Amino acid sequence: MATQHDDRPDFTPYPGPSGGWGSVKSLADIIPREKNPVETGKELLRQNKHDGFACVSCAWAKPHPPHPAEFCENGAKATAWEITSQRVTPDFFRAHTLTALREWSDYRLEEAGRLTHPMRYDRATDKYVTATWDEAFAAIGAKLKGYDPRQVVFYASGRASLETSYLYQLMARMYGNQNLPDSSNMCHESTSVGLKAAIGVPVGTTRLDDFDTTDCILHFGQNVATNSPRMLHQLRSVRKRDVPIIVFNPLKERGLERFTDPQNPIEMATGKETQIATQYLQVKAGGDLAAMMGMAKWLIEHDRVDAAFIAEHTHDYDAFAAKARATGWDEIERESGLARAEIERAAETYAGAKAAMAIYGMGLTQHVKGVDNVRMLVNLLLLRGNIGKPGAGPCPVRGHSNVQGQRTVGITEKTELAPVDKLKERYGFEPPTQKGLDTVEACGGVIDGTVKAFVSLGGNFVRAAPETRLLEEGWAGLDLSVQIATKLNRSHLIPAAGETWLLPCLGRIERDLQAAGAQMVTVEDSTSVIHPSVGKVDPASPYLLSEPAIVAGIAKATLPPNPAVPWDEWVGDYALVRDEIAAVFPHFFARFNERLKEPGGFWKGNKAANREWDTPTGKAEFVIPDVLNATGFADAGGRFRLLTVRSNDQFNTTVYGYSDRFRGINGTRQVVLMNRADMDALGVTQGQKVTLAGDADDNMDRRVAGLMAVAYDVPPGCVVGYYPECNPLIALAHHAEESHVPAAKSVPVRIVAGG
Ligand SMILES: Nc1nc2c(c(=O)[nH]1)N[C@H]1C(S)=C(S)[C@@H](COP(=O)(O)OP(=O)(O)OC[C@H]3O[C@@H](n4cnc5c(=O)[nH]c(N)nc54)[C@H](O)[C@@H]3O)O[C@H]1N2
Ligand SMILES: Nc1nc2c(c(=O)[nH]1)N[C@H]1C(S)=C(S)[C@@H](COP(=O)(O)OP(=O)(O)OC[C@H]3O[C@@H](n4cnc5c(=O)[nH]c(N)nc54)[C@H](O)[C@@H]3O)O[C@H]1N2
Ligand SMILES: [Mo]
């Protein structure tokens, strides 16, 4: 594949704060490049407003009332990227074979623009050729009717609306499977599993107003300035009240150090910055369990726990306390990479707070012990009664803009989470009860050939998932690949042995006209608030269909008619789909259409936030971790822990450019960041090209070559590379134990000189 860089690499540390003039300049660079600056400017003012559209970037909460400009640098990039005036037309495909396009970088593929026509892969010419929607649906339906339903996967990336997601899971279940993996399986599934077991709900309990009352924030493994920049406003206001923020992160991420509010003229003019972290602990990758155990040990041994809360609301405290007391500081310091005094200071600060929130991201979830990480975080909160009161609780920062909502309306491979009885009663079919395939299992099925057909509702599965080489080989052996997408990506370029269909859809920012008129859709943010979203921009092409229309088109061509499931009526008026959602999930969505009129959206509720614990014991559960190393592998000579991270210039596999501004990495993504002492010990020099080799115990050859070594402030033994470039290094078996999230934040690798 083509290398991922543009001009000459530059590794000059960035002096500025997060936000500030740097973010203004970055926008000024990116918006004109998409050749639609006027439209983009107009649309940005509608972003995250009640009558506007919900940003297509991250899932962070949208305040009410909104700021005059309720968007951030990266949300603006996502908007510009979607409403670009660039187009990938049939002419484009006439000019390029798939073999040629596979040499393009991720950046160049998507930069080519929006897909305009439904396309079918033609093997004779190795090109995509145009087809009509009727041809596409008929062909896909004919194929799908021929399989054992267990052989088909229905993947969803986390962007599709609640309405689309509901239709998609219904189609899969009526077809006969729950093979409904979604991007959440690579992301916060450790949260969904861990929080559910610990406190009885699969989502965080905190909301935006908790930032107004909290008096301490613990922050683990989340890169706020890049991945949820709007949260910087909340962190800034918390700091204005002098509330401590304790950060655990192997990297010194600029947004966690200091911020200048680009929407505040005085701050901008005077260059005033807000310091974010009051204590910054550069924990080793995979070392958080040890750090949290250290804090717990200190709290317990200094009698700084909330005994009344523990007695009334929790289970298994004594066993946990015994474990914490028995754990030695030697082990804690070794496994965390932190000094005892630093951990004690953090514990003491935490103990001084009446209410504390714990914010976290992929740095906790994407580990072999990712579920333990989440549960240990809950332990820490439970010790001081920090769940179910204002200003307190877990705050997992979700990724895709509707990834949490998809799960809420039934996109899940797990029967116990699906409304099986309600579906049966309402639509008169027998929903499958066999557990479906999650992402890791779906990859396994593609690789071993048991999966024959793969339908993707968005996303870039081949590039986002681990074990790239085997996955691509397996993908080429599929009998059917159906890709519903807005832009071209690598998953579209590996044709199935049978048929491959590329189906272009409307984006959320575009006007969606159906029989009943212009439609709105809905999404759920990270704090469980449901928002309406109305697109108003002209569609990228007259040939696009909406996602609900595409799902319904496939369903009608595949399933026997069912009068209880009027696909066409539902597509004509999404309010009818919302009525279905309300009927099937009344506890969250009663009076759905009516409540959407509430400005700022509505909260779907959360039992744990009211201290109702929906667990087998009826209490919040302490857990006793069996090890304090979250990586799932032992240290060995020459073995490093590779953390794969996002740059400031990408949205997952969508690469907007080559500037990771805050980290001072510019012009290339082909890098490996290393501790200076590790470089010296290996004789690797700044800028030298090296190869990373996977060091999993299965002895399989996994390599990424041509990475430039860059000296960087990372803990010894840890190295950093970009996702998705480093995904070929991740073994499929290297995933979180209970949640199956690929363990992308500690991948065992060796450094081989010579690139
Ligand atoms: N602009 C933009 N926004 C996005 C995305 C995007 O790609 N671009 N992606 C969206 C999606 S789907 C998601 S899931 C989120 C992802 O947002 P994040 O959760 O921030 O994910 P990453 O960028 O992978 O960064 C993880 C952070 O964890 C740290 N880290 C790594 N290993 C460890 C560890 O062992 N312990 C600790 N304490 N920290 C560790 C890294 O240094 C990094 O700061 O963002 C969403 N928002
Ligand atoms: N090594 C490593 N791997 C990781 C991660 C990591 O941190 N490290 N992070 C993981 C995480 S958290 C996630 S969420 C996954 C992400 O995995 P995915 O969700 O599968 O990937 P994306 O890159 O978000 O998908 C981008 C594509 O979505 C399509 N798209 C964009 N908008 C729309 C739309 O409105 N509708 C439709 N139908 N299609 C659209 C476009 O064609 C675009 O090319 O990757 C995971 N993989
Ligand atoms: Mo994600």
Let me know whether 277 and 371 are in one domain: yes
Quick check: 144 pLDDT over 90?
yes
Read out DSSP for 117-155?
S-EEEETTTTEEEE--HHHHHHHHHHHHHTS-GGGEEEE
Mean pLDDT of 460-464: 98
Quick check: 51 pLDDT over 70?
yes
As a whole number of angstroms, the distance between CA 525 and CA 408 comes to: 11
| Token pair belonging to 229 | 């920049």
Quick check: 312 pLDDT over 70?
yes
> 280 φ, ψ to 5°?
-120, 115
Let me know whether 651 and 718 are in one domain: yes
Asked whether residue 2 is domain-assigned, the answer is no
For 73-111, how does the pLDDT look when each residue is reduced to its tens digit (9 = 90+)?
888 889 999 999 999 999 999 999 999 999 999 999 999
- Cβ atoms 368, 741 nearer than 8 A: no
Tell me the sheet residues that pair with 752: 691
Let me know whether 95 and 237 are in one domain: no
Measured in Å, residue 686 CA sits from the centre of ligand 3 at 32
Instruction: Tell me, using a 6 A CB cutoff, whether residue 734 lines ligand 1.
Output: no
As a whole number of angstroms, the distance between CA 345 and CA 340 comes to: 9
Burial of 581 (0-12, 13-18, 19+ CB in 10 A): buried
Place of tokens 């439970």: 382
Quick check: 30 pLDDT over 90?
no
Mean pLDDT of 544-561: 98
For 153-205, how does the pLDDT look when each residue is reduced to its tens digit (9 = 90+)?
999 999 999 999 999 999 999 999 999 999 999 999 999 999 999 999 999 99
Instruction: State whether residue 216 is helix, strand or coil.
Output: coil
Proportion of the chain above pLDDT 90, given as a percent: 86
The confidence score (pLDDT) of residue 274 equals 86
Measured in Å, residue 183 CA sits from the centre of ligand 2 at 7
Give the atom of ligand 1 at the shortest distance from the alpha carbon of 222: 20
Let me know whether 690 and 665 are in one domain: yes
The confidence score (pLDDT) of residue 66 equals 82
Quick check: 401 pLDDT over 70?
yes
Measured in Å, residue 419 CA sits from the centre of ligand 2 at 26
Place of tokens 């200003």: 391
As a whole number of angstroms, the distance between CA 369 and CA 375 comes to: 10
**Closest residue by Cα to residue 751 from 725, 721, 731:** 721
Mean pLDDT of 565-572: 98
As a whole number of angstroms, the distance between CA 745 and CA 714 comes to: 13
How many domains are there within the chain? Answer: 4
CA 89 → CA 94, 120, 753, distances in Å? 9, 13, 43
Q: Which residues of 602-613 are buried (b: 16+ CB within 10 A; e: fewer)?
A: bbbebebbebeb
List Cβ neighbours of 696 (8 Å cut-off, separation of 6 or more). 633, 702, 731, 733, 734, 748
Instruction: State whether residue 247 is helix, strand or coil.
Output: strand
Quick check: 352 pLDDT over 70?
yes
* Domain termination site, one of 347, 362, 397: 397
The confidence score (pLDDT) of residue 5 equals 67
Alpha helical stretches, state H, 573-662: 574-584, 586-589, 592-595
| Token pair belonging to 63 | 């305040």
For 426-459, how does the pLDDT look when each residue is reduced to its tens digit (9 = 90+)?
999 999 999 999 999 999 999 999 999 999 999 9
| Mean of pLDDT over the chain | 95
Measured in Å, residue 646 CA sits from the centre of ligand 1 at 6
Residue 5, H or E segment: strand 5-10
The confidence score (pLDDT) of residue 457 equals 98
Let me know whether 391 and 406 are in one domain: no
We report the CATH number of the domain holding residue 334 as 3.40.228.10
List Cβ neighbours of 634 (8 Å cut-off, separation of 6 or more). none
699 pLDDT tier (thresholds 50, 70, 90): confident
**How many alpha carbons fall within 13 Å on the CB side of residue 172?**
34
Tell me the sheet residues that pair with 217: 245, 357
> 495 φ, ψ to 5°?
-70, 150
Let me know whether 138 and 239 are in one domain: no
As a whole number of angstroms, the distance between CA 36 and CA 30 comes to: 11
Segment among 27-36, 132-141, 166-175 with least mean pLDDT: 27-36
Residue 172 CA from chain centroid, whole number: 23
Let me know whether 235 and 197 are in one domain: yes
Asked whether residue 137 is domain-assigned, the answer is yes
We report the CATH number of the domain holding residue 436 as 3.40.50.740
Mean pLDDT of 99-124: 97
Asked whether residue 635 is domain-assigned, the answer is no
Mean pLDDT of 639-644: 98
Proportion of the chain above pLDDT 70, given as a percent: 99
Asked whether residue 7 is domain-assigned, the answer is no
As a whole number of angstroms, the distance between CA 445 and CA 397 comes to: 30
Place of tokens 């609780």: 393
Q: What is the 3-state secondary structure (H, E, C) of 484-523?
A: EECECCHHHCCCCCCEEEEEEECCCCECCEECCEECEEEE
The confidence score (pLDDT) of residue 266 equals 80
2 pLDDT tier (thresholds 50, 70, 90): low
Instruction: Tell me, using a 6 A CB cutoff, whether residue 177 lines ligand 1.
Output: no
- Cβ atoms 674, 731 nearer than 8 A: no
Asked whether residue 622 is domain-assigned, the answer is no
Measured in Å, residue 382 CA sits from the centre of ligand 1 at 25
Measured by CA distance, the residue closest to atom 30 of ligand 1 is 363
Asked whether residue 38 is domain-assigned, the answer is yes
Quick check: 3 pLDDT over 60?
no
DSSP state of 719: E
Instruction: State whether residue 464 is helix, strand or coil.
Output: helix
Asked whether residue 667 is domain-assigned, the answer is yes
118 pLDDT tier (thresholds 50, 70, 90): very high
- The residue segments making up the domain with residue 40 are 34-82
Let me know whether 713 and 577 are in one domain: no
Let me know whether 229 and 332 are in one domain: yes
Residues with CB under 5 Å of ion ligand 3 are 187, 399
* Domain termination site, one of 82, 111, 144: 82
As a whole number of angstroms, the distance between CA 669 and CA 663 comes to: 12
- Cβ atoms 63, 212 nearer than 8 A: no
Instruction: Tell me, using a 6 A CB cutoff, whether residue 184 lines ligand 1.
Output: no
Mean pLDDT of 460-466: 98
**Closest residue by Cα to residue 104 from 2, 11, 204, 240:** 2
DSSP state of 716: T
Measured by CA distance, the residue closest to atom 39 of ligand 1 is 221
- CA dihedral 458→460→461→464, nearest 10 degrees, is -130
List Cβ neighbours of 301 (8 Å cut-off, separation of 6 or more). 324, 325
The pick from 157, 726, 745 for probing ligand 1's pocket by mutation, whose C-beta has the most ligand atoms within 8 angstroms, reads 745
Strands 665-668 and 671-674: unpaired
Quick check: 28 pLDDT over 80?
no
Measured by CA distance, the residue closest to atom 14 of ligand 1 is 399
Alpha helical stretches, state H, 281-435: 288-301, 307-313, 317-326, 329-336, 340-351, 362-365, 370-383, 403-408, 420-427
Let me know whether 255 and 364 are in one domain: yes
**Closest residue by Cα to residue 585 from 417, 404, 398, 438:** 417
Measured by CA distance, the residue closest to atom 46 of ligand 1 is 399
Ligand 2, residues at Cβ distance < 6 Å: 110, 157-159, 183, 186-187, 362, 366, 399-400, 457-461, 464, 484-487, 489, 505, 507-508, 547, 644, 652-654, 723-724, 726-727, 730, 744
CA-angle at 618, arms to 616 and 619, nearest 5°:
110
As a whole number of angstroms, the distance between CA 204 and CA 115 comes to: 36
Asked whether residue 322 is domain-assigned, the answer is yes
* Domain termination site, one of 531, 563, 590: 590
As a whole number of angstroms, the distance between CA 589 and CA 652 comes to: 30
Q: How many CB atoms lie within 10 A of CB 568?
A: 12
- In residues, how long is the chain? 755
Quick check: 36 pLDDT over 90?
no
We report the CATH number of the domain holding residue 710 as 2.40.40.20
Place of tokens 């509010």: 261
Let me know whether 234 and 254 are in one domain: yes
CA 247 → CA 256, 280, 396, distances in Å? 7, 5, 15
755 pLDDT tier (thresholds 50, 70, 90): low
Residue type for 562, please? N
Let me know whether 75 and 51 are in one domain: yes
CA 567 → CA 139, 560, 673, distances in Å? 19, 12, 51
Strands 217-220 and 152-156: unpaired
List Cβ neighbours of 100 (8 Å cut-off, separation of 6 or more). none
The confidence score (pLDDT) of residue 39 equals 80
DSSP state of 58: B
Measured by CA distance, the residue closest to atom 4 of ligand 1 is 227
List Cβ neighbours of 318 (8 Å cut-off, separation of 6 or more). none
Mean pLDDT of 593-600: 92
Residue 116, H or E segment: none
For 609-625, how does the pLDDT look when each residue is reduced to its tens digit (9 = 90+)?
999 999 999 999 999 99
